[in-house]
């Protein structure tokens, strides 16, 4: 399935807004344009990334299946959608965010732009960016939040 179709399905399922979907499609087009230009022009840099990640992944799940969010962003799009990545906390239930903060993890203070730069340059040592489990009292379930590169 094409990346554009995946984005359209995410809009249809309500996982992202139409405006976010439009931004992703535009970023995808720009990324494809850059890729074709890179194939024509030789690389000016002699350095190669130490690690090649293909996807930036966000998973929010719960034991009772009341929450199930799965977002896969191709690395090629990350540089174009860095500002969207900073809005990750919007998909995490409020109770889970509070529990994460009690555990010392404030997702709103994560510098996603810095992480994106490390991912794209291949210098990120640990692909597990966030891995937290929190109890959601209201729904009586454990919420799991994982943000990682693969």
pLDDT at 53 over 70: yes
**Residues 149, 129 contacting (CB under 8 angstroms):** yes
Contact 75, 120 (CB under 8 A): yes
For 73, the domain range is 3-149
38-50 per-position pLDDT tens digit:
555 444 444 444 6
pTM above 0.85, yes or no: no
* Number of domains forming the structure of the chain: 1
């Amino acid at each position: 399935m094409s990346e554009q179709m995946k984005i359209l399905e995410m809009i249809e399922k309500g996982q992202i807004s139409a405006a976010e979907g439009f931004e992703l499609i535009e970023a995808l087009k720009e990324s494809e344009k850059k890729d074709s230009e890179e194939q024509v022009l030789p690389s000016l840099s002699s350095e190669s990334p130490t690690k090649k990640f293909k996807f930036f992944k966000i998973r929010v799940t719960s034991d009772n299946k009341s929450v199930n969010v799965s977002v896969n962003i191709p690395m090629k799009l990350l540089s174009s959608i860095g500002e969207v990545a900073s809005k990750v906390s919007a998909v995490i239930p409020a109770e889970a965010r509070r529990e994460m903060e009690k555990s010392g993890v404030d997702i709103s203070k994560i510098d996603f732009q810095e992480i994106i730069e490390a991912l794209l340059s291949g210098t990120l040592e640990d692909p597990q960016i966030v891995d937290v489990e929190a109890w959601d009292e209201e729904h009586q379930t454990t919420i799991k939040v994982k943000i990682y590169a693969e």
